[in-house]
Amino acid sequence: MTSDRGAPVFLNGMTLFSGGAGIALHTHNCAESVVILQETAIVEIDGTKHRLSTWDTTYVDAGVPHRFRNASATEPMRILWTYASVDATRTIVETGVTARVDAEHRRGTPS
């Protein structure tokens, strides 16, 4: 759900990670919750790594560096993410580049 689809207070959606894939260490301008829907994930939150399985859920405060990686080298991993703002942004720690999360998930754009 994005602001252009009528969401007034939160942003959510799903991401599918191929085997071994992950996202760079990053922060958000709002809180985020992630539910593991399929397979096993390695999540790093503020420097601490955790192994998560299906239905495990995370909560990350705004500004806390974190990342998710598929623990399987071959099986896909699917997550459900929810941000506490329709104006959620992601800032990549290494580069400092910030972008709106909903821009990555516009209708017609692969997620």
The pLDDT of residue 9 is: 86
From the list 15, 12, 17, the residue with the least C-alpha distance to 77 is: 17
Query: What pLDDT is attached to residue 3?
Result: 62
In tens digits, the chain (111 residues) has pLDDT values of: 556 666 678 999 999 999 999 999 999 999 999 999 999 999 999 999 999 999 999 999 999 999 999 999 999 999 999 999 999 999 999 999 999 998 876 654 443
3-class secondary structure per residue, 68-87: EEECCCCCCEEEEEEECCCC
Q: What's the Rg (C-alpha) of the chain? A: 13
Taking the C-alpha atoms of residue 54 and residue 70, their distance in angstroms, rounded to an integer, is 12
Residue 2's pLDDT is 59
pTM as predicted: 0.87
Domain boundaries, the chain: 3-104
CA angle 4, 7, 13 (to 5 degrees): 85
* 3-104: CATH class: mainly beta
